Structure 1
Amino acid sequence: MANKCDGHNAHFDKTKEEAKKLIQSPIISISLAFFLCFFSLYISPSLSIMAQNFPLVPKPLGGASDDPLKRVSLIPRVPEHKVPENVGERRPLAPRTGEEKPFGEEEGHHLAPKPPSHEIEKLSDVVPKSVRPHESEDGLPKQSLIFPKPLGQRLGLGKKAPFQRGGRPMFALSDDRVMLEKVSKTHSPDMLSFDVISLLSIVHDIFKSHVPSLDRSPSKAPLVFKDYADYTSFEAFAELIDQISCEIECKCMHGGESQGLMSSGFHLDSRHTAAFSVLSLISKYRWDAKAVLVLAALAVKYGVFLLLAETYATNQLTKSLAMIKQIPGISSQETSFNKRLEKSRVLMQDMVDLTTTIIKIYELPPHYITEAFTGHVPIAVYWIVRSVLLCTSQISCVSGFRQDQVMSFMEVSEVHENSERLRKINAYLTEQLNKSLDSIKEKKTEDEYQELIRIFTTMIHIDIVLPLLRLFRSIDFLYHGSGHSKRRVGIDALSQKNVLLLISDLENLEREMYILEQLYNDAWQQSFEILWVPIQDHWTESDKTKYETLHSGMKWYVLGEPWMLSAASLRFIKEWWGFKTKPILVALDPKGQVVSTNAFPMIWIWQTFAHPFTNSRERDLWAEQEWNLEFLIDGTDPHSLTQMAEGKFICLYGGEDMQWIRNFTNLWRGISKAADIQLEMVYVGKRNPKNGLQPIIDRIREERISHTLVDIFQIWFFWTRIESMWESKQRVLKQRTTRKEEREDIVLQEITSLLGYGGEGGGWGLVSRASELMVRAKGNVFEIALTEFDQWSGEIPSKGFLRALYDHLMARRPPHHCTRFMLPESSGIIPNSVECTECRRTMDKFYLFQCCLE
């Protein structure tokens, strides 16, 4: 052994001598000199710059600096990245030993390879939970090769994660179908149920409780104290909630905390296992009940903590408990725990929102809870449980919590991603829920609509009250009287009465109201009652105010709260009774049978004589009625009726051309003198009068050209009566079977011609006396006939003035002259075809949309 050592020493001495000779050689000396020059010129300045950028501040030995939590990190930072104030001195570093090497190998400083999944659990023995990555100003870590990727990047989640995968929402960590199967295996309900809405309401009250010592936001108004005496008793579930709370607490205390590098692997698997353990405890409840029970367990934990925080400064018992639990920092508003609490509260609200949606889903009829819900609600409940575990971990971390300790990146990332996940699930389920609710609403509306059709068309009733109750549904009262005498009454006040339903909107009622008020007297009230039913698709506050103003001046009955009318009732009124925008008057007999879908035409034509507004009454009135001037102007112009009673001829005319009006009236003055007749001319304007007619009326009066109807309203009523005649005639003729009767109806032809004259706006005229022949023509035709008075004046003694004028007009009528005819708005009475009253050809059909045209 000694010989071997001596041999090694001799060999070493020999090698040393050879090295000295090599260094002393000229070539080696030149090489060393060249290297020293290169080092002084290039490498030495670079090292100086690095020393300036990354100075190593020496720390004195001993004292506080020996604390490993106060070592300064030597990891270089980019200059523009500032270090937060609460990060730096107390940054914990993993202990370095020759065996552990957590950051890399000793030689070469290579990064340590990522341990396999089966070895992750061993890291808990190596890396302490206090290890945290470097953080930036916003609390998030700076990217560094020595730290793992963010949770969202490693799991493929986060804001940029796709919401859909193959047409299905993607919520689970792995395949959502696999997760659904696993979660569904924990579900074995036995039809147990309780008042989940009330319990969730209590939980929500706890979550949103305001504690000044913890909430940095401006002080809020104190919550109104709620009396839970009426809520369902939860005594049967108190023990279960305690069990859930203990299970959650136990799992969180044994690996569920999300702190340090261990959060990157260990706590996820642990929380996953804990979630299934909690789901097993509540396997026999419905999914909505599971979510509420788990939230209740979290609320108990959270509520106890809030009570400690709220009474910490004023209650000795609370202070003592807080000292034992090592939570003195809750008394300071500046602790970083406030940030932890704010993020947890956001997650709590997301859980409450999602749970509320799940509760609404299970309020649906069973056959509406389709796969769109059952395929995602279990996943939603699973993530609610996971989020409860996360929040519980955050609250449990208060024990021993330091004021300068901040949330790790893994904690921030997990809370954020859980919130995003819950919101995405809630958005999807809410969308599906709204679709189901719309479908249910449509089905309900259709059923109610078909029921109304049966009630008012096929069913026989003994009183009008029942049909009205079904039509108005949720509205059960009326207003009656005007002014201070108005009072609320029940719908049964209309029992065994004839009722006219005045259906209108809030804009087009003034003229109808004016005429009805003139007709509504004691005689009317003894025969029938009027009930106003205002119709609006969408009611605003201004609409409700206008409704109050309108009905305050009405003498008759008014429907209370008309904005509560169901969609089925609105549809029935529009489709079966033909309401659009023009008011209609639906007549009901004492048994609730519809005798007329619009009694306005009969009332405008015959006033009270139209009662009881039945179809048979309408036929009888037309059978008795003669077509003459007295019938045409009845109720519209008392002056003309007086002149007619004195035996004068009355010439009605219209038009908008003042020059033509002057020429036409001057011709008639000459004719009346030449024919020795007494003539009164009356200007009646045109259909749908606008403001443009008022200047013409004023000019006629100023120049004393002729008599005119009193005002625009009187002109409107004159033409409305003619439109009502056309509508009433069409309704009567509709009951006949042959078209020949319609073509031979002289009255309908005359009404149609007048509507054509009034709709065009051009000049026209009509002359007659009392019950004699009425002669009408367009302005230019009439003008020519008057200028040719000498040609037909000789026929006057034998034929009479009107017959002689009529024969001359017929003989001089152009071979083809037609008129334009615009149909009035009516209750669905639009014939398939209309013949021209002049040439008897079928008129072409057009659609006219008109607004504010003069």
Structure 2
Amino acid sequence: MAKFPTPDLKYTTDEQEIIEKLEAKYGRKNRDVDNKHLMDVIKNIFHSCNLVENGVPSLLENADYELMNDDIRYIINKLSWKITCNSACEMDIDKTVHELLDFLSEFSWDAVVVLMLAVFAMNHGELLLLKQSTCENQIAKFLQKLKNPPLSLGSNEDLKLYVEEPLKNLVDQMLSVAEQLVLFKEQALTQKIELSSSVRKVFCIVAYRILQSIVKCISSTMEFVKTGDKYQDFPCKIQRIIRSCRFTAFGDYLKNSKFFELEYNGILWTFKKANDVAILLLNIFLVKGNLIRQFDGINKLKNVNLENFQGNTVGFFITEFNVKEEDFSVLRHTYDQVKKKGFEVLWIPVVDQSIEWKDELLDDHEKVARKMPWWSLASPLSSNNPVWWYIKQDWQFQRTSMLVVLDKYAKVMHTNALPMVNYWREEAYPFSMETEAKLWMAKSPTITKIIQKIKPLPEGEIICVYGSHDMNWVHEFLCFINHLEVKDVEVKTTTIYVGANRRKQKSLKFETENSIFWSEAMMLRFWRDLENVAASKMIQSRENLVDAIKNEFATILSYDYKEDGWALMFNESSKFIFSGKQLKYCWKNIKDWIEKVNKGEDIMNAMTEYLQPLKLGREHCIHLAGPTTINNLVVACPECGRTMEKSFIYKCCVK
């Protein structure tokens, strides 16, 4: 179950023991009562007794009373008799509580709460009715003398100070938490949602505490028959009950949990049952108050018409609030190409929890929305929105932009098609997992194909693609690779500098006649293609990452992350990737292996054979960052084959 941003609720040792015993003894209780109408009756009684200050109780019609069957009336009266009898016999309160729980064992915890409040309301209402009738009814007057109820003792001022005010406080807290509990249960039944174990625990302890409080309170009022007007300790007893029961804490927890859990589970249920993407959008966004809109070519605001989505494949473009235009430029181009085929996009921006949200940020949001040719939410989702939690928990959104694709029947076709779209573009339409798998089988992208796609390379030479963020390393490497002294063997090499990953820092700028220097745009495309292909393959390879992912992608991304530099060397027959550490070792010890090249061996083979027994750079520390949807894989190191340890990686996505 998802962890929602509800108040931190920690049980005391006593509460934890009570919950464990009750759950073990009574398990899942299923019998319900008509909570709504019973609560209306209860609130009307308490309001008439001047124990509820705020709110006007619901008007009750005769039909409302008819909804309460005789069986429920009998149960309420029997509970009242049992409490009265046990209190009169001075039976231990805990023993009485457990007898009542045994009697109510078939009822759900919310039903226990409502039935016990009905008992308390009936008991207190009878006392008040007896007091109010003494002036008009002689029978009531004589009954009061015999029963000596607490409400007849002392002056009105004493009654207010010692009885009404403490009871008012207790009733207010019990009603508040009971209403939260009843509303929670009502919405859960409406949405056909099963309550989580954490919420069931709160239901359990609230029912127990309310039952315990009512028994203590009724027992205390019965003591007045013996003590006469000596009831000054009554407020202290009520305060002890309130402090020990923590009704406010439980009520706050239920209030927040109700919103998040029910809304979140409602979204789960909506996705499971939806069979039309337009209706899904209506239920998820429009009814939640998130206006969907679009800007046309002259920046005129257009509100959504669900017919725009009817029968279309829809992509949810989910990003951070401050997404950059470069992050959706490829998607924008692809959207223009496939829109006529029945593809729509909805931008769902989410607010980073570290950002202090201000109204003026909406202007920035609108500026970004105007650059997008598709629909967008009128305001970003924040962490207090259950849709945000669904996106985070079920689609594993962290901070990196993603594209969740749904077909016209609202079934998820791909939980993140953005890497596929960024690399294959419109060729990947309709952007499903099946299409992605077919593209991999037919195209099988490699690092050399990615490079050739960006810039055609000369044939018959050794191509050396390298990257680094260290100027000194670059100069040393070029000196090594371009000035190899090889006897009687012509070694033609073309060196191409592709910079460093854009997520680390800007690429170096230098001038050299001995190396091709790609433009910033070409470098950016190289790294984006590399990351997109790697991410696409990892998404496709959920069950067997070790065999499926191209080791070269993972290795280069890892070397770029942790090494001073790296180089990919390949020709028509072979291909090798070297880390900065390996290359440094080679150029410092060139005399130990260059002789093999002099004898005609391929330079790449000679370097690899020389490095193999030394196992340089194989300290079991390859860095591999994959999509967060891949959680339970055993991953082998692309370099040495050993199983990699799993740990958390904190990545900053600042470009």
Band of TM-score, shorter chain = 0.5 to 0.7
- Displacement of 1:727 after TM fit? 3.1
Question: 1:814 matched to which residue of 2?
Answer: 612
Question: 1:763 matched to which residue of 2?
Answer: 565
Q: Measure the CA separation in 2 of the matches of 1:286 and 1:561.
A: 48
> How is 1:69-218 mapped onto 2 (pairs within 5 angstroms)?
193=40, 196=43
Between 1 and 2, higher relative CO (CA 8 Å, sep ≥ 6) is seen in: 2
What CA RMSD, in Å, does the superposition of the two structures yield over aligned residues?
5.7
- Displacement of 1:782 after TM fit? 4.0
Does the 8 Å CA contact 1:475/1:562 hold for their aligned counterparts?
Answer: no
Does the 8 Å CA contact 1:755/1:821 hold for their aligned counterparts?
Answer: no
Question: 2:426 matched to which residue of 1?
Answer: 608
Q: Measure the CA separation in 1 of the matches of 2:378 and 2:45.
A: 33
Question: 1:23 matched to which residue of 2?
Answer: none
Aligned to 1:827, the other structure's residue is in SS state coil
Question: 1:121 matched to which residue of 2?
Answer: none
* Structure 1 residue 374 corresponds to structure 2 residue 220: no
Question: 2:397 matched to which residue of 1?
Answer: 579
Q: Measure the CA separation in 2 of the matches of 1:513 and 1:687.
A: 12
1:632-671 deviation digits (Å, cap 9, x = unpaired): 2478xx6xx2x63899975321234332211112334435
Question: 1:215 matched to which residue of 2?
Answer: none
Does the 8 Å CA contact 1:602/1:724 hold for their aligned counterparts?
Answer: yes
Q: Measure the CA separation in 2 of the matches of 1:774 and 1:646.
A: 14
Aligned residue among 609, 613, 628 for 1:827 = 628
Structure 1: stretches of 5+ with no match in the other structure: 1-163, 168-189, 209-225, 237-283, 296-340, 385-409, 797-802
Aligned to 2:423, the other structure's residue is in SS state helix
> One-letter code of the match for 2:579?
K
Q: 1:835 to 1:468 in 2, by over 3 A?
A: same
Question: 2:449 matched to which residue of 1?
Answer: 631
Does the 8 Å CA contact 2:264/2:390 hold for their aligned counterparts?
Answer: yes
Aligned residue among 176, 199, 215 for 1:360 = 176
Aligned residue among 776, 779, 786 for 2:577 = 776
468-477 vs 805-814, which moves further: 468-477
> How is 1:296-375 mapped onto 2 (pairs within 5 angstroms)?
354-363=170-179, 364-365=181-182, 370-375=207-212
Question: 2:476 matched to which residue of 1?
Answer: 663
Q: Measure the CA separation in 2 of the matches of 1:466 and 1:657.
A: 54
Aligned to 1:665, the other structure's residue is in SS state helix
* Structure 1 residue 701 corresponds to structure 2 residue 510: yes
Q: 1:627 to 1:464 in 2, by over 3 A?
A: closer
- Displacement of 1:612 after TM fit? 1.4
* Structure 1 residue 804 corresponds to structure 2 residue 620: no
Q: TM-score, normalised by structure 1?
A: 0.47
> One-letter code of the match for 2:172?
T
1:364-391 deviation digits (Å, cap 9, x = unpaired): 339866241133247669999xxxxxxx
> One-letter code of the match for 2:625?
P
Q: Measure the CA separation in 2 of the matches of 1:480 and 1:853.
A: 28
Q: 1:538 to 1:849 in 2, by over 3 A?
A: closer
Aligned to 1:681, the other structure's residue is in SS state strand
Length, aligned pairs only: 504
- Displacement of 1:596 after TM fit? 0.9
Does the 8 Å CA contact 1:472/1:565 hold for their aligned counterparts?
Answer: no
Aligned to 2:421, the other structure's residue is in SS state helix
Does the 8 Å CA contact 1:765/1:778 hold for their aligned counterparts?
Answer: yes
Q: 1:378 to 1:783 in 2, by over 3 A?
A: closer
Aligned residue among 294, 316, 321 for 1:481 = 294
Q: 1:759 to 1:806 in 2, by over 3 A?
A: same
Q: Measure the CA separation in 2 of the matches of 1:552 and 1:578.
A: 27
Q: 1:435 to 1:517 in 2, by over 3 A?
A: same
Aligned residue among 528, 532, 551 for 1:724 = 532
- Displacement of 1:812 after TM fit? 2.7
Q: Measure the CA separation in 2 of the matches of 1:197 and 1:491.
A: 45
- Displacement of 1:531 after TM fit? 1.8
820-829 vs 466-475, which moves further: 466-475
- Displacement of 1:591 after TM fit? 0.9
Q: 1:648 to 1:494 in 2, by over 3 A?
A: farther
Aligned residue among 484, 507, 510 for 2:324 = 510
Identity %: 18
Does the 8 Å CA contact 1:288/1:358 hold for their aligned counterparts?
Answer: no
> One-letter code of the match for 1:611?
Y
Aligned to 2:316, the other structure's residue is in SS state strand
Q: 1:622 to 1:686 in 2, by over 3 A?
A: same
Q: Measure the CA separation in 1 of the matches of 2:632 and 2:450.
A: 23
Q: Measure the CA separation in 1 of the matches of 2:437 and 2:553.
A: 17
Q: 1:348 to 1:647 in 2, by over 3 A?
A: farther
Question: 1:394 matched to which residue of 2?
Answer: none
Question: 2:416 matched to which residue of 1?
Answer: 598
Does the 8 Å CA contact 2:292/2:375 hold for their aligned counterparts?
Answer: yes
> How is 1:679-690 mapped onto 2 (pairs within 5 angstroms)?
679-686=494-501, 688-689=503-504
Q: 1:852 to 1:198 in 2, by over 3 A?
A: farther
Question: 1:617 matched to which residue of 2?
Answer: 435
Does the 8 Å CA contact 1:531/1:558 hold for their aligned counterparts?
Answer: yes
> One-letter code of the match for 2:636?
E
Structure 2: stretches of 5+ with no match in the other structure: 1-11, 16-36, 63-116, 129-156, 186-202, 222-228
> One-letter code of the match for 2:529?
R
Aligned to 1:834, the other structure's residue is in SS state coil
* Structure 1 residue 842 corresponds to structure 2 residue 651: no
Question: 2:333 matched to which residue of 1?
Answer: 519
Q: Measure the CA separation in 1 of the matches of 2:39 and 2:643.
A: 72
Does the 8 Å CA contact 2:45/2:125 hold for their aligned counterparts?
Answer: no
1:551-596 deviation digits (Å, cap 9, x = unpaired): 4422232235565888765554334322233332211111111111
Aligned to 2:430, the other structure's residue is in SS state coil
- Displacement of 1:602 after TM fit? 0.8
Q: 1:609 to 1:440 in 2, by over 3 A?
A: same
> How is 1:173-322 mapped onto 2 (pairs within 5 angstroms)?
193=40, 196=43, 287=120
Q: TM-score, normalised by structure 2?
A: 0.59
1:783-809 deviation digits (Å, cap 9, x = unpaired): 67675797466688xxxxxx9333333
Q: Measure the CA separation in 2 of the matches of 1:777 and 1:648.
A: 18
Higher Cα Rg, which structure: 1
- Displacement of 1:764 after TM fit? 1.4
Q: 1:658 to 1:477 in 2, by over 3 A?
A: closer
Does the 8 Å CA contact 1:196/1:292 hold for their aligned counterparts?
Answer: no
Question: 2:149 matched to which residue of 1?
Answer: none
Q: 1:540 to 1:650 in 2, by over 3 A?
A: closer
Does the 8 Å CA contact 2:264/2:386 hold for their aligned counterparts?
Answer: yes
Aligned residue among 452, 457, 467 for 1:644 = 457
Aligned to 2:314, the other structure's residue is in SS state strand
Does the 8 Å CA contact 1:479/1:486 hold for their aligned counterparts?
Answer: no
Aligned to 1:595, the other structure's residue is in SS state strand
